[in-house]
């Protein structure tokens, strides 16, 4: 049996009759940049998160960058970010000229540690960027009072957590804004790169809309220097069709995760979802002894897996100038040697999941 980490072909076949006529109609219109498809998707994705607005942009990384720019983050500022996350979180901070300040994560959820955040605040700190990792929200009820006490902006990196909730509040309802990615591996997947910024402050919305169009307030009049962060109409059209199915897909991810939880308990450490959280399981990430040997065993048995992430950001070569050292963030550093993501996409069957679980059980029984 073959079980890839992700298989989007089945999803496409199920939506083919919806997507292809819409794409052909768009091609006939020859209107490919922004326009009605983007406006419609922005409306629907904002409603999905109960936010006042959404600004479609070119990728999740550009959503982070545009948000930082809109909030005035610039050279000389510091932004606190977890070291255990995708590179785009810190890369966007660095591109503004600001300094990413890396902090450790919680050993149970892998999300940012509020105590570490508070210790990292200086007179140069401008913002906090909590990452809602693997589909589960960070402890926003602890982070927001810290930010408010120090007058800091909060940018939620929710690129892996579309629709996830904590204490009944979805991402986008906590910080100044929230950023989503629709990269093909995400729960809501575009036909390429795409992203969105969610929020409730109208002035921030205006700045984000201007910044995605080179800082344009009206045609060829620029009040600031922005970028080309526009969302293509094709991506918005596809995403709007898929959005109608997202809740059902999320339920299936949760079901698959529950089966894994039952099958893998007492074999590896399964994901711990806090009682206050509704995870959307962008990834199902276990902690496993002899992780690399296990991954090789799964590969030999035609099972896909991935390591998110092998190197924490404070030890990445491009940030050597920040003087990060091994031991600075011990929880994250240990996680980098133990984590392994298993297939969890909606189209998996029970046979697939049980095959994966059987292979993992067999590895530890024989070793």
Where in the chain do CATH 3.40.640.10 domains reside?
9-243
DSSP letters for 36-68: HHHHHHHHHHHHHTT-SEEEEES-HHHHHHHHH
Which helix H or strand E contains 141, and what residues bound it? helix 140-150
In angstroms, the CA 282 to CA 342 distance is 11
Sign of CA dihedral 198, 106, 323, 312: negative
In angstroms, the CA 283 to CA 110 distance is 12
Topology (CATH level 3) of domain 9-243: 3.40.640
Closest listed residue to residue 269, CA positions, set 314, 335, 219: 335
Q: Kindly state the percentage of the chain with pLDDT values over 90.
A: 92
Question: How confident is the prediction for the chain on average, in pLDDT?
Answer: 96
Q: Is the pLDDT of residue 114 over 80?
A: yes
- HSE at residue 41, side-chain half, CA atoms within 13 A, is 28
Residue 331's φ and ψ, nearest 5 degrees, are -65, -50
In this prediction, residues 336-355 reach a mean pLDDT of 97
Hey, what are 288's tokens? Answer: 């496993």
Length of the chain (residues): 367
pTM of this prediction exceeds 0.85: yes
**For residue range 243-258, what is the model confidence (pLDDT) as tens digits?**
999 999 999 999 999 9
CB burial readout 263-274, b (16+ within 10 A) else e: bbeebbbbbebb
Q: 34 falls in which pLDDT band (50, 70, 90)?
A: confident
Q: Is the pLDDT of residue 156 over 90?
A: yes
Q: Is the pLDDT of residue 366 over 80?
A: no
Q: Is the pLDDT of residue 364 over 80?
A: yes
The β-bridge relationship of strands 195-199 and 53-57 is antiparallel
Q: Is the pLDDT of residue 367 over 80?
A: no
> In the prediction, which pLDDT does 134 show?
97
Closest listed residue to residue 158, CA positions, set 38, 304, 48: 48
> In the prediction, which pLDDT does 219 show?
87
Topology (CATH level 3) of domain 246-366: 3.90.1150
> In the prediction, which pLDDT does 217 show?
84
Where in the chain do CATH 3.90.1150.10 domains reside?
246-366
Q: Does residue 110 contact residue 335 with C-beta atoms inside 8 Å? A: yes
> In the prediction, which pLDDT does 251 show?
98
**For residue range 290-341, what is the model confidence (pLDDT) as tens digits?**
999 999 999 999 999 999 999 999 999 999 999 999 999 999 999 999 999 9
Q: Is the pLDDT of residue 107 over 80?
A: yes
Which helix H or strand E contains 88, and what residues bound it? helix 87-95
């Amino acid at each position: 049996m073959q079980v890839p980490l992700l298989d989007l072909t089945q999803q496409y076949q199920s939506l083919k009759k919806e997507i292809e006529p819409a794409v052909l109609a768009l091609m006939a219109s020859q209107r490919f940049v922004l326009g009605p498809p983007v406006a419609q998707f922005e409306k629907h994705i904002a409603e999905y998160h109960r936010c006042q607005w959404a600004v479609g942009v070119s990728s999740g990384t550009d959503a982070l960058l545009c948000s930082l720019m809109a909030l005035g983050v610039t050279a000389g500022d510091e932004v606190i970010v977890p070291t255990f996350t995708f590179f785009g979180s810190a890369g966007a901070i660095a591109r503004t000229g600001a300094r990413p300040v890396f902090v450790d994560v919680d050993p149970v959820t892998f999300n940012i540690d509020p105590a570490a955040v508070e210790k990292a605040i200086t007179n140069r700190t401008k913002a906090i960027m909590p990452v809602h990792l693997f589909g589960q929200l960070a402890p926003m009820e602890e982070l927001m009072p810290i930010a408010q006490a120090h007058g800091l902006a909060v940018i939620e990196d929710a690129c892996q957590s579309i629709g996830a909730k904590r204490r009944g509040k979805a991402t986008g309802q906590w910080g100044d804004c929230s950023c989503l990615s629709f990269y093909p591996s995400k729960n809501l997947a575009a036909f390429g790169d795409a992203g969105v910024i969610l929020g409730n402050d109208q002035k921030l919305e205006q700045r984000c809309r201007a910044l995605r169009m080179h800082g344009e307030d009206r045609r060829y009049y620029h009040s600031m220097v922005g970028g080309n962060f526009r969302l293509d109409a094709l991506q918005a059209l596809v995403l709007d069709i898929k959005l109608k199915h997202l809740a059902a897909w999320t339920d299936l991810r949760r079901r698959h995760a529950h089966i894994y939880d039952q099958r893998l308990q007492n074999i590896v450490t399964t994901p711990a979802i806090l009682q206050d959280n509704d995870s959307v399981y962008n990834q199902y990430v276990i902690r496993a002894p002899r992780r690399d040997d296990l991954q090789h065993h799964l590969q030999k048995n035609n099972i896909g897996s991935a390591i998110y992430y092998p190197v924490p950001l404070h030890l990445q070569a491009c940030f050597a100038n920040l003087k990060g050292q091994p031991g600075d963030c011990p929880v994250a550093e240990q996680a980098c040697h133990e984590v392994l993501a298993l297939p969890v996409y909606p189209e998996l069957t029970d046979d697939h999941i049980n095959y994966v679980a059987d292979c993992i059980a067999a590895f530890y029984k024989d070793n």
